Amino acid sequence: MRLQDIVLEDRFNALIIPKITVTVLANLVAAFRIGFRLWWIKWPGADDVLVGFAAVANTAYVVTYLQLVRYSLKIHADFSLFPIFQKFLFAAIVTYVVANTAVKFSILAQTRRIFVQPGAQRATLIIIVYLALYSTAIFLVCIMTCIPVEKYWHSAMPGRCLDRILIHYVFAIINIFNDVIILITPMIFIKDLQVSRLTKLGITALFACGGL
């Protein structure tokens, strides 16, 4: 094995091992949560279904991400691999959007299950409607960044593309705003729950972890 191959393999491992570790742990937690809920209440809620879907979507994202990293380390030596790299970049972006959206909806569904106050129900419903519209828009933009779609990985193909860097920055800023809103919303209504202070602290910690 050439020294260059060893270096590339080390770089690949350094990039993917943390991602795989976090994904495995997250999927184990999701599986435990769903299993416990099925055992306890015998029937899953909307938040349980969304957690399971988010775990599957996140796994799909990680798989495409691994291939993206693999080819990113190879294209400097063989630029003919660049279209394949771009295909996995496209797939990684789409699967990330789906996984990220599923996580947000699962948090909102759990918020609606725990906080039954009319104010909390109205607030979460408004956020769900807004997030559904925003998520649909961002998904369509990601799919149709280039027209035809194949131009995304074949730049010489006739057609047109949107400014990808601008899109990523705009969506990143909006996603941060969305995350803050979803994180803050349950915190507003925790004080109104008729439970012990310790339970309130536990719920606060639960949603804080979801915000991460």
pLDDT over 90 (residue 132)? yes
Band of residue 192 on the pLDDT scale cut at 50, 70, 90: low
Q: How many CA atoms lie within 13 A of 10 on its CB side?
A: 7
Band of residue 12 on the pLDDT scale cut at 50, 70, 90: low
Cα distance between residue 211 and residue 106, in whole Å: 12
Cα distance between residue 95 and residue 87, in whole Å: 12
The pLDDT tens digits of the residues spanning 49-81 come to: 888 888 899 899 988 988 888 888 777 777 788
pLDDT at residue number 7: 42
CB 59 within 8 A of CB 98: no
DSSP code for 192: T
Cα distance between residue 65 and residue 71, in whole Å: 10
Phi, psi of 147 (to 5 degrees): -125, 115
Q: Where are the domains of the chain?
A: 3-211
Q: Taking residues 89-97, what's their average pLDDT?
A: 92
pLDDT at residue number 1: 43
Gap between the terminal Cα atoms of the chain = 40
pTM above 0.95, yes or no: no
Name the CA radius of gyration of the chain, rounded: 21
Cα distance between residue 19 and residue 62, in whole Å: 7
Amino acid identity, residue 46? A
pLDDT at residue number 125: 94
